[in-house]
Structures are given as C-alpha cells and as structure tokens.
C-alpha cells in the first residue's frame, strides 16, 4: 500500500467488515470519515474519544498533534477535556527535542484549557523521525453530538477559513530555502505562520449552536478527500462550486512551485460543515470573526459533482495527500 491514508476500499473490506463485537453503550463507532467514538455516560452526557498520529512532518509536531486531535473532538460537537500521549523518538534524539515537543503541546493545551493526563514516551529504532500519537477525550451533551454522517439532501455545504493552511505552513517551514530563491521573504513568512489558524474549536462551537447537520475536519486528502468522506458517510450526492472554495494566495503560489494540487493538500484549520441554513451559520461565524463560505449543496443520489464555471467533473475517492510529494 502507498504512503498516506488507507484507501477507502481497503478500509471497508479489511477494517470495518472485521469489526463484529458491539456494545449498547457505544453510540458512535467506526465508519468512513468518522474521527471520533462516543460512549454514553450520564443521562444527559456522552464521552467522546479521538486518536491521531502525526507522521507527515517532524516540524512543530507537538503543536500539530494537539490541534488535530482537539479539532477531531470539536468536529463531533464535543468539548475537549484532556489528552493521552504516545511519543516515539529515534535513537539519535536528544533530550532537548523531547522537551521542545512537550513545550509545544503544553502551549496549545493551556490555550484550550485541556489537560495532558498522561501517556508514554519511548526511544526506539522502529522510527526514523519523532512520532506522536494523541488520544483526545471530550464530552458532549446528549443530542448535541455531531456526526460526519449527518448531512442530508438540501443542506448547504460550507467551509471555514481557507483550505491548505496546514500543508502550506509545513511546506513553507521545511522548504524555506528553496522557496526564498523564488518568493519574497514576507510571503514565505506569512505562509509559515498559517499554523496560527489550525484550531477549529471556535467555528465548531458556533456551528453546534446553529444546529449544524454534519462536521468534518479537513485533514489528509484535503478538501476533495473531506468532501468525499462526508458524502460517503452521509449517503448523499454533492454539487460543489470550485470557485467558491476559499484558498489563500500563498497556498496557490507554493502549490504551483511544487506542482501539487491545493485541493488535495492536508488542511487542518478548515472545517467542512453541512447545514440546513447555511446563511444563518455564516452569520454566526462572522460574529466570531471567522471567515467562511457556502461552497455548494448536498443532493439526493450518489453523484458528487465539481463545477468550475462551464466545466463539470466528478469527485473521486481520496488519494495520497499532496504533502508527501514535497516533504
């Protein structure tokens, strides 16, 4: 298999079909595009869990690791509470590197009032660069849990902020020298600082209050991958206007430089949402100072169509993320 996400066909055939044991306490389990699981606790509250590794880069790995897991919890409508960590380091690592990773994590956790509850750290010859896996724990009120599978025909499809933020930041940091040979230092610096947009907790909170139907954090596979997963999980078709998908000019420039597709670039910081009233949700986002855009609609059937002015083409299942072509 190729580097990146397991293909959807393999996921269905060799993972999901092998899961047979069920318990009545589990109210949200494994499925295409689902980033979290949920277990019912008190009468009016559910326990929400998510886990994610960072494998595409070692740059700012602590910062990325916490943001991505908290975003997964937020996309389920949950309030993040704490995290459990697994940190694997290659044999040549120094103590200062571990300290730096933990420092990055604590900064993000402090901002979100999330506690690092424990975990495991290890130096191992099994990895060639630092590997961090975060298990996030959150809570949500009964009836407020949001699933990737919740989109319905007629729902507006929205995105928050811009696509490609995470991938642009990673590439701008790891390929700084190459980029400075072509672009002004100000452009490269701006792209590197896109990691300030990585949290989707504010837009998730606004969306839950607005009665959002479905949410999905746009990560590996980019916006095209996230759109496919939301549609596949919800059993709906899509009509998406490519021109309405917001993307920063810095992302366009860097993707052109490395000949990669910004629509298939890892995009943490961008939340994909389905809402019965996209205009109302947009107004709520604007109140929070969050940029967003309605990019299309969910429709009946299985056709997932991308419109680019007069051109029409069909969305394809997620591919290996474009980031792996560069770093």
Task: State whether 154 and 269 are in the same domain.
Answer: yes
| pLDDT given at position 65 | 94
The more confidently predicted of residues 279 and 3 is 279
Task: State whether 114 and 155 are in the same domain.
Answer: no
| 311 assigned to some structural domain | yes
Task: State whether 270 and 164 are in the same domain.
Answer: yes
For the segment 127-131, the average pLDDT, to the nearest whole number, is 92
- Enter the pTM of the model: 0.86
Helix axes 61-75, 95-112, angle to 10 degrees: 30
CA 258 remoteness from chain centre:
22
Task: State whether 131 and 215 are in the same domain.
Answer: no
Distance (Å, rounded) from C-alpha 249 to C-alpha 276? Answer: 30
Task: State whether 259 and 210 are in the same domain.
Answer: yes
Q: How many H helices and E strands in the chain?
A: 10, 13
pLDDT band for position 5 (cuts 50, 70, 90): low
Task: State whether 242 and 100 are in the same domain.
Answer: no
**Domain at 196, CATH number:** 3.90.650.10
The predicted-structure confidence for 171-193, as pLDDT tens digits, reads as follows: 999 999 999 999 999 999 999 99
For the segment 143-164, the average pLDDT, to the nearest whole number, is 96
| 14 assigned to some structural domain | no
What is Dmax (Cα atoms) for the chain? 60
State which of 84, 114, 141 marks the end of a domain.
141
The predicted-structure confidence for 59-91, as pLDDT tens digits, reads as follows: 889 999 999 999 999 999 999 999 998 999 899
Q: For 270-316, give the secondary structure using H, E and C.
A: CEEEEECCHHHHHHHHHHCCCCEEEEEEEECCCCEEEEECCEEEECC
Domain of residue 39, residue span = 23-141
State which of 119, 141, 163 marks the end of a domain.
141
| pLDDT given at position 6 | 57
- Sheet of 37-40, strands arranged across: 26-28, 37-40, 45-54, 131-141, 79-89, 115-123
| 13 assigned to some structural domain | no
pLDDT at 31 over 90: no
Task: State whether 100 and 202 are in the same domain.
Answer: no
| 6 assigned to some structural domain | no
| pLDDT given at position 312 | 95
> Highest-confidence range of 4-8, 10-14, 81-85, 304-308, by mean pLDDT?
304-308
Helix axes 249-257, 165-174, angle to 10 degrees: 50
Task: State whether 248 and 155 are in the same domain.
Answer: yes
The predicted-structure confidence for 258-270, as pLDDT tens digits, reads as follows: 999 999 999 999 9
At 90 the three-state DSSP class reads coil
Q: Where are the alpha helices (H) located in the chain, listed in sequence order? A: 8-10, 61-75, 95-112, 165-174, 176-180, 185-192, 201-209, 222-234, 249-257, 278-287
pLDDT at 43 over 60: yes
Q: Check: CB of residue 278 under 8 Å from CB of residue 206.
A: no
Angle (CA) 186-190-195 rounded to 5° is: 160
| pLDDT given at position 42 | 80
Task: State whether 218 and 177 are in the same domain.
Answer: yes
Distance (Å, rounded) from C-alpha 257 to C-alpha 79? Answer: 39
| pLDDT given at position 8 | 85
Task: State whether 153 and 134 are in the same domain.
Answer: no
State which of 106, 141, 176 marks the end of a domain.
141
The predicted-structure confidence for 9-21, as pLDDT tens digits, reads as follows: 876 887 678 777 7
Element (H, E) at 323: none
Task: Calculate the alpha carbon distances from 70 to 35, 135, 228, 233 in Å.
Answer: 11, 9, 22, 21
User: Minimal CA–CA distance to 158: which of 113, 93, 215, 120?
Assistant: 215
Give me the number of domains the chain comprises.
Answer: 2
pLDDT band for position 4 (cuts 50, 70, 90): low
pLDDT band for position 2 (cuts 50, 70, 90): low
**Domain at 133, CATH number:** 3.30.1330.10
């Amino acid at each position: 298999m190729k580097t990146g996400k397991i293909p959807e066909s393999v996921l269905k055939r060799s993972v999901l079909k092998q899961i047979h044991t069920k318990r009545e306490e589990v109210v949200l389990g494994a499925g295409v595009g689902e980033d979290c699981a949920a277990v019912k606790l008190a009468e009016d509250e559910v326990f929400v869990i998510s886990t994610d590794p960072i494998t595409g880069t070692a740059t700012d790995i602590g910062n990325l690791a916490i943001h991505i897991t908290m975003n997964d919890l937020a996309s389920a409508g949950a309030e993040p509470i704490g995290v459990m960590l697994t940190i694997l380091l290659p044999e040549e690592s120094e103590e200062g590197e571990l300290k730096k990773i933990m420092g990055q994590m604590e900064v993000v956790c402090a901002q979100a009032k999330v506690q690092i509850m424990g975990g495991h750290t290890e130096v191992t010859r099994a990895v060639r660069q630092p590997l961090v896996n975060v298990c996030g724990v959150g809570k949500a009120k009964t009836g407020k849990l949001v699933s990737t599978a919740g989109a319905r025909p007629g729902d507006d499809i929205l995105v928050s902020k811009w696509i490609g933020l995470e991938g642009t930041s990673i590439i701008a940091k790891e390929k700084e020298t190459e980029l400075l040979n072509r672009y002004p230092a100000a452009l490269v610096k701006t792209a590197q600082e896109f990691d300030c947009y990585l949290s989707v907790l504010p837009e998730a909170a606004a969306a839950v209050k607005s009665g959002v139907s479905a949410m999905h954090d746009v990560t590996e596979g980019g916006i095209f991958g996230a759109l496919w997963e939301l549609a596949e999980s919800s059993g709906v078709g899509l009509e998406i206007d490519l021109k309405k998908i917001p993307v920063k000019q810095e992302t366009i420039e860097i993707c052109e430089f490395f000949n990669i597709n910004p629509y298939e670039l890892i995009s943490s910081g961008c939340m994909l949402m389905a809402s019965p009233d996209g205009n109302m949700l947009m107004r709520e986002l604007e109140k929070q100072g969050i940029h967003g855009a309605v990019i299309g609609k969910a429709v009946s059937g299985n056709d997932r169509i991308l419109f680019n002015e007069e051109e029409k083409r069909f969305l394809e299942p997620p591919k290996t993320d474009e980031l792996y072509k560069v770093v």
